[in-house]
Amino acid sequence: MRDFNKLTGNSERNAWCIGRAKIDLRTMCLMEPSAQPFITADDFGDRDIAFVADPFRVAAADYSYIFAEGWSRSAQRGQIVVFKLNIHSQIVDSKIALAEQFHLSYPCVFKQGGEYYMLPEAWDSGQLILYKARLFPWEWDRVACLLELDYADPQLFYYKNIYYIFLNTDPLVNATASTFWSESLMGKWRSHPQNPVVNDDLIRARSAGPLVRHAGRIFRFSQDCRLRYGHGVFASEIIELSPSAFRIRPVGWVELDRPAWARAAFHHLNVFRENEVYYALFDGYGESSSQRCNSLKQNSCEEGEE
């Protein structure tokens, strides 16, 4: 895990932050991204949290809640944090919602049958663990182990009375993905007959946020890991999905005029609709402090030469 942290910038304060932008789902363009991060670890207040990433938004009554991975310096692993926002998108509260003796990230939160559930990444445990809110959004209990396997970034999708889970099955390579399905959330989960549904593909294997239905189409977002982990986001359209069939076609990269704080990477989208406009929360990773220092030195030299 420590080597993986170095690879992804986890040692830096506010290395990963959360931004907000409008999104055009016809062109897959993020527009008017926030020049400064929308949410950072500084907004959490507890200095033990080094960064925030993997945002999942849930709207409820007069508030919205943003769940995210919060990297704990003391534990050296991810925990699930939640920010409570008012109707003006101002943070009014924040807490750690879930912490375990293993790494947690990618808090896939959803509502089913009037109850809130969370299916986070917990790949250090070797289990795909389902949690249920005891007191939403602050307190959660384990309710089931759905699968035992090595995986990353599980994304649940309910379609035509069937539950599907998309997940990356080689987390340190990010080139293979599989799908599992079940007729009930806590029932028997079966491997899709076409598994791996993505094979030897560094662009489409690892999930990058919730699937989106728009204009009769289903879009899945995935991480572009060709240059580095989570360098960008790619969109695909699912054109057939059933317990026996799976077909997907490429749409293209999600375009983003990257602000400085997301220059090095962005790897997650949570698309939502608000006042008839589509928005997306996205996370981003900027340059490390050492890279910024080298950049400043280079600029100083160039100015001296002029």
**Domain boundaries in the chain?**
2-286
> Radius of gyration (Cα) for the chain, nearest Å?
19
Q: What is the pLDDT of residue 10?
A: 53
Q: What is the pLDDT of residue 46?
A: 86
Q: Which residue has the tokens 């949290």?
A: 49
Please choose, from the candidates 148, 4, 150, the residue with its C-alpha nearest in 3D space to the C-alpha of residue 77.
4
Residues of the chain with pLDDT under 70: 1-13, 287-306
Partner residues linked to 141 by β-bridges: 132
Q: What is the pLDDT of residue 73?
A: 94
**How far apart (Å, rounded) are the C-alpha atoms in residues 80 and 93?**
14
What is the torsion angle, in degrees rounded to the nearest 10, for the CA atoms of residue 94, residue 232, residue 131 and residue 159? 130
Helix, strand, coil fractions of the chain, as percent rounded to 5: 10, 50, 40
For 2-286, the fitting CATH number among 3.40.50.10860, 1.10.1060.10, 3.20.190.10, 2.115.10.20 is: 2.115.10.20
Contact 267, 208 (CB under 8 A): yes
**How far apart (Å, rounded) are the C-alpha atoms in residues 256 and 103?**
29
Q: What is the pLDDT of residue 61?
A: 85
Q: Where are the alpha helices (DSSP H) in the chain?
A: 2-8, 289-305
Phi-psi region of 87 (alpha: psi -120 to 50; beta: other; left: phi over 0): alpha
pTM over 0.85: yes
Angle at 100 between CA 280 and CA 181, to 5 degrees: 60
Q: What is the pLDDT of residue 214?
A: 96
Q: What is the pLDDT of residue 14?
A: 75
Please choose, from the candidates 180, 93, 183, 104, the residue with its C-alpha nearest in 3D space to the C-alpha of residue 142.
104
